[in-house]
Every structure is written in C-alpha cells, then in structure tokens.
Structure 1
C-alpha cells in the first residue's frame, strides 16, 4: 500500500532521541526551548510555545485570547474537528464560514457577508480560525482587514502549513494573526511523533500560554499574588504559585529533540513535496479531475494533494473531447460513485484518503442545530474531494503507480458510462 502520508526518519533523528534518553532530562529540559527557538528562527515570530499536540495549542490560544462563555468562535467546516472543538473547550459557541470553491480555504467574501449579518444580530465572533488547508495560506490580508473592521481576533490553524509562505513571508510570522498554530503529527511535514506549537508576536499571550500549558503555575516572583500573613520573599527556589486553572500540555524532551533534528530538513521536505505536486499537475492534467488551485501570493507547503472527482459523464465529454475515440472501443462498465472509486483505489494498493468530512455534518454538531445544506460549497467539496498519496519519501515510480491506478479506475468507467448515457438519450 502506498500511504497518503508518512513520516521521514533518518539516523540523525534517531541519534537525537537516543541522546535525550541518555541524558538527565526526559521532560522540562533544554530541548523544548531549543525547538521553540528553531521555530522562531524559521518563521520570524517573536515567541513560540511548544505543546504535546496542535489541539492543545489551539486550546491554549483560545484561552490566551480570553474566549469564554457567551463568545463566538468561527472557523471553516472543511477542517479536522479540533479547529472547532477548541472553542467548545472554552465554553464558547461555534459557527462556520463556507469555503472558497477554488482554494477550499475559508472564503473572505463569505466571511464578510456573515459578519454583516452577525453585527446586526449582535453575534459577532470574538475569534476566527482560518485553516490553511493542504498547506496553502488563506487570504490572510483580507481576513485581517475584516478583523480590524469587526473587532475579532485571529488564530491561524497552520497545522498543514509549516514551510509555506504568504506574500513572500513564512507562514507563522504573525503579520496577519494574533496566534499561529502548527502540528507535528507523524503525517505532517515535520514530526515530533505527537506535538504542536503556538506562535505569537505578543509577549503577554506567550506568557499566558506558557503558564497554562503547565497547570497555570509560575515560579516568577514578579507575577505572584500576595498572600495574607505569608512572606513570599522568604521562600526559596522551591516555591511556586498556581495563578489560574491550567493543563499539562507540555511537550517532552524526546519529542522536542526529534523536532530540532527534523526542522533542519524542513526546506528539503517542502522542496520535494512541491516537486511531487508539480509532477502530479502534469501527469493528471488529462484525467477527469479538478486539480488544486494555487493563488499567486501563496506558496503552499503541500502537506496534502487533494483532487476533485469529476464524475458527471457529460461534463467529462465536453472537457476531454480528445478522448472521444476511446468511447468506441471501451467495453460496458457501470458508472462508479465516489465510494467505489475510493474502494477500488485502495484495492489497487493506493492509500487514498479524505480531508475532510465537513465538521457541521458530524452528529455532535448536528445536535447543536447544524444541518446538511448549511454550507453548500463545503458539502460539494466533500462529495468530490480525494486526497492522493504525497510524502517526502515518495518515489517517481510510486507516483506513477498512483496515476496509473487513477487512469484505470476513472477514465474507463466514466467515459464508458458517457457512451451508455448518449446511446440512451438517442433511443
């Protein structure tokens, strides 16, 4: 099976983790700050807070921005559920903004329209979370301009996007966001096994997220609260205070050491992914697929390569007139719906996947009142989307196998069904 994604671990990564195992610190040692500094060096952000997952980082980001009961968080329906769940963790209400049909990212025009309505209803969001799907940045300048007009904070969910750029700057620099969150899950571009990070240019936000990731505790006496009848200055280095309700969201030294090693190859990872994506663009050009759209001001990190299945036979004939000769020689075959395409590709050893099921269609969110039809562009995307294998270690031969399987499953079945439809219409 050719997987849709896979980590790339070399001997340097292994040695880095072994060195930590042989050291004095398995947690709360020097590697986490080193990894945070590496993220700062790459992005140009002022502060980085490493966590045990990107979900934890999203939660901390929401808390740092004081999202709570009575507040609204808006995000895209085409994302992993964590992008929305983080608002619920804080007691806030969640809503969604439909996607751009070309980029599949949160649509600034749909956002503006929804903001106008929300302002009239006094239901403006406190936080908006754009998600950089597949590694391509949202139109952050447009979203940021709306944030200034309507007064919401921005958390960039860049779980897919480390190594990407927007308007020539690294994603994560914080030019158009209060906080940016990265993921380091094994299928992501850089991995720490499990892990995430929140980056910001605001010292107060960074300090709060650092406290909250470790139980809300501080050892900084300048931040401590006075206690009646108790002299803090007389306390030794053992003394700490819990200032607020926090969590154990810390990253281990093992994870951080792997991250420090991995990020040294970030540029190589992204360069290879871009080459593979460009090669897909060429190899798949004549197949009944909608290929990814890249905006001029973005340079995707290419965490995912998502295509849209064009399964309407008549549309296929119009867009692929050069293939009409194939219709005369193909044998009869039933038209394949998406689930059959998915199954047959898997049976051929192609580990296709789907990113993502619209969050508002999940039973948990349906119980909140969301329904099919609420976000039609996202739902249409879901009906067509298919994630193809893309990972750093992927060979040209493996990519050729993916393309050949797609040709087998898509072209023959869809074109032949077009013949059946044409013949039926003549009769």
Structure 2
C-alpha cells in the first residue's frame, strides 16, 4: 500500500495551536485517571504502613508513588525510546495511527517498569529503602519512612537521565556511534555509555539529596548545592541550554565555535553548565528577590518553574509547530534561529508567569477536583503537560491533525 501524508490544516501554525489545545485537554483527562489508579494500587499494597502514620505523611507517600510511576514509565522511557533509540520498532505492529502510537505507549510503560526493576531491585538487595517489599508494602511506620526515602531517591533518577543522557544526543549527536553502528546497536551503545554517567550523577547529586545516612550518629552526606530547590534550579537552567542545539537551534549557539565532535559537545556542555546551570538561576533568583515575585515561595522553586516554562515552550514549538519558521520561510540560518529564540523567550516567559497563577486550578498540577487523587505540583505538573506534547508528536505523529491517506494506483496515475 502507498500512503501520502496529509494535514487537516495547511498552516503549521494552525496545526500547532490546535495541537496545543488537544494536548491540554488530554492532560486534563489522563492525569486524574493515572493518579487514581496509582493511588488505588499503593493504598492496597501499603495499607498497613499507611495506617501506621499520620494522614499527611500517608498522603505524601501516595503522591510520591504516583509521581514515580509517571517519571519512570513516561519521562525516562520516552527519552530512551525516542532520543536514544530513535523510536526503533514503533511501526513493528502497524504503520497506521493511532495503532502505532498505542503500541509504542504500551512499550513505554514496559520499558519504564523493566528499567525500574533492574536498577532498583538490585540495589534493594542490600539497601533497605530500595527493597521492593518495603517500597511497595511497608508494614510499619518505620518501614514507610524508609520506603518514602527510597521512592524519592529513585523517582529523581529521572533528572540524571535528563541531564546526563540527553546531552549525548543534543550536544554530542550520538558520536562516535552514529554512522558506525546500525540501529538499534548505535542506540544500545549510547544507552550503555550515557547510563554510566547517569548513575554517577544520581549517586553523587540526587541520592544524598534525599537519603539521610549516618554512621555512629554522624551525617556522612551533605546537602548538594545547599538545598533541594537550588538543585532543581540548576537542573532546569542546564537543561534549557543544552537542548537548544537540537530543539530548533540547528547546532547553535555552540556551532559558532566548531561543528566537529567531540569538541562541539564539550564546548556545549561547558557552556550549558556555566550559562544554564549557574548564571541563569543566579539571574532569576536576583530578579525574583528584587521584584518580590511569587512571594512566600522559595525563590529557587520559582526560578526552576520559570526555567521549566522555557523548556516546555521550546519543546512545544519544536514538536507541535515544527520549528517555525523553517528554511523555506526564512533561508537565513541566523535569522530563523534568532526568531525561534525570541519566540521561546517571549512565549516561555509569559507562560511561566501565567503558570505561577493557574497551576493550582489544573487537575494535573494542583487541583484534585475533590476526588483525592495525587497532583503533581508547580514543577512536575509542567512535565505532566509536556509529556503529552512529546507523545503526541513522536509516538502518534500528530494524529489526527496529521494523517496518512492510502493512494490507489489510479490516484497515482492521475496525480
């Protein structure tokens, strides 16, 4: 069979706007379902431990579990499937949508669960907070406290995956494996190498952010960067800057210096660390304190939220608006990249300030609709929305806004 790709709207801007609306509606629907199912599961398996602690702690534990299922099955799995393996096997069962998207979404859940079991169950043989029996079925208040630390530390393996694995694609362009190995072997090589760095970052930066390890009553770890909010601000700023080359920047700004690997990747990594990890959070915190923005909230949390809004906008523009304007609209690379950067900054900043006000009323961020399901909060709530954008484009090929139409031989001759 022969197919041609068609759009329901000729304009890519119109397609993007309608896509944003559809994704927003879907986010409003899917998260209450996801969170409710997660709550039912953990309330059943951890019933004894939940009854042994105060309601506030029980609520936090349930929310952390729901958050963890989303991080592993959605965010981590999408990064591995799409960015590292290039959506290998998406059309194994069918080339038509929504069938291919449904299949690949199912595979995403399987990949996330499998990765969690491989990593965490092995560590849990000796580390009690990561012991699966304690994490899923704590029987006492003490076990539930251990399980909570285990879930928090394991949940945020997602950030090492983002900040340590994505740069292998966005900055280093999968070198030296791409072009030298055929799929999926090139993806496997990137996966194994980048996972080593992700594990190092997780152990060095994120495990001590949650695990309170003592020897003889002496704390053997210190809080990375002074506080957890500061870590989050560092991560979001770093992410924004290292994504630019691959998400509409066409290799820039780091391509200005060189387009040869690994030098471009190294320069990009250093630049993202300095500009994104340190200078951007410092600038935001200074402005937030000076103008008393979002009073009553830790300025680093507000900073992380505003930075994340820029990331969401950049990725939305890349995936739903196809990096408008393209080369046909604007032949000059410098001009079209500059236009996109202005769009990210203007729309992203506007969205960021709007988000600070409205996230509390959204069912995937701060409003449980009186049903008692866990909500994601000011930061993870943006990820809950962002992942819909990403799945909509990469798994479902923007269906039903973009679709394939079968072409018969007669149609081909007439055309």
The bucket for the TM-score relative to the shorter chain is under 0.3
TM-score by length of 2: 0.25
Q: Which has the higher helix share?
A: 2
Q: Which has the larger radius of gyration?
A: 1
TM-score (norm. length: structure 1): 0.25
